[in-house]
Amino acid sequence: MRVLVLGGDGYLGWPTALHLSQCGHQVAVADNFARRQYDFELGVESLVPIETLQTRVETWRDLTGESMDVYVGDLTDADFTYRMLREFRPEAVVHFAEQRAAPYSMIDRKHAVYTQVNNVVGTLNLLYAIGEIDPDIHLVKLGTMGEYGTPEIDIEEGWLEVEHKGRTDRVLYPKRPGSFYHLSKVHDSHNMEFTCRIWGLRATDLNQGVVYGQATPETMLDDRLATRFDYDAVFGTVLNRFVIQAVLGHPLTVYGTGGQRRGIIDIRDTVRCVQLACENPADRGEFRVFNQMTEAKSVQEMAETVERCFPGDVRIDHLDNPRVEREEHYYNVVHTRLLDLGLSPHLLSDTLITSLFDVAKRYAGRVKDEALRPKVNWREQSGPVQET
């Protein structure tokens, strides 16, 4: 297949592009490099050094003989978006090209507006481009489990059968997002469902849990193919942050009680899920949702896993929660559709944690201690951003 990976320079976009190329697909990547700019703004950088996109693509070509087209531009620029689709003519578009951090979206008005404009307008431009250029293109879009919130009923895969006053209907599962970032994803989902229903597009919404890990078989072929490892309190995922704190001898910082349960997934399973979605496309007019997670754990359980696996002393500290969220709640998620397509998940294990410790130890000298502490408070309309 011809697959266009949007956000192909990012934490998940880059290893996904490599994996799809390794599977025999013709891959192109697009990016505006905004994620690298966020590092300059916040005064942090990936724990693992990452090469330029040009170097990465050239390294992959030299190692495998597989080429990748590269497009540099922004989805909020409709002209660029249309030109890219007309030139590459993809059969599938994998869409990672959004601002992905809830804390970043909650810094202040400016960051909230930027997140929603970037994410919602970019995706809307893409939907229009697909609809006008080739409605057969299958859109595989990264959503988030955070769209659902923490309801007191089981979380179904995108849709819910309801009965009301003796009548039944199938509706999109009710959403209760916890940040302006998560809200942008909800808007994307509704726009996608609408265009599938009205224009006959085909789309798969991958509501993904928290990703952990840094290496895939493809990125391990050469250090120049490495993807990001974010550990800071804005972009760093919680398990990655705990691993860094353990290696540095810092307490693991659990927000509130740590009873918040989250769906989680290994980065190797993320790239496999995208492959399965691309190779088994939605039908014309179908908006389908896959809950892309492999297991659920509380933040406290993740901290205790790191504590158990680390070969040294580890202390767990509970901080006042900067977020507005339920810390003890029901959480049961249906996630069977990707398993039905053939996913064999990697579950969180001592072996994986140990490998993350090795990465953290190798690059421990690059850590900025101050970046580990939360600086964004959900209750404030204007929060501080670290000066550079």
Residue 61: other Cβ atoms inside 10 A: 13
The pairing of strands 295-298 and 210-212 is: unpaired
Q: Which of 81, 185, 227, 297 is catalytic?
A: 185
Are 11 and 227 in contact by the 8 Å Cβ rule? The answer is: yes
Q: Which of 195, 199, 4, 198 is nearest to 96 (CA)?
A: 4
The pairing of strands 261-266 and 210-212 is: parallel
DSSP string, 349-366: -HHHHHHHHHHHHHTGGG
185 flagged as catalytic: yes
List residues bridging with 206 in a β-sheet. Answer: 142, 290
CA 349 to chain centre: 21
Buried/exposed 205-232: b ≥16 CB within 10 Å, e otherwise: bbbbbbbbbbbbebbeeeebbbbbbbbb
Give the alpha-carbon dihedral of 308, 313, 315, 316, to 10 degrees.
-20
The pairing of strands 69-72 and 92-95 is: unpaired
List residues bridging with 248 in a β-sheet. Answer: none
Q: Which of 181, 212, 255, 331 is catalytic?
A: 181
**DSSP code, position 160:** E
The alpha carbons of the chain give a radius of gyration, in whole angstroms, of 20
Phi first, then psi, for residue 387 (nearest 5°) are -75, 145
- Containing 263, the helix (H) or strand (E) segment is strand 261-266
Residue with tokens 């905004």: 34
Phi-psi region of 26 (alpha: psi -120 to 50; beta: other; left: phi over 0): beta
CA gap 171, 185 in Å, rounded: 17
CA gap 265, 271 in Å, rounded: 11
Helix residue ranges per DSSP H, 211-326: 238-248, 267-279, 299-309
- Containing 26, the helix (H) or strand (E) segment is strand 26-31
Q: Which of 76, 81, 144, 294 is catalytic?
A: 144
Supply the residues annotated as catalytic. 144, 181, 185
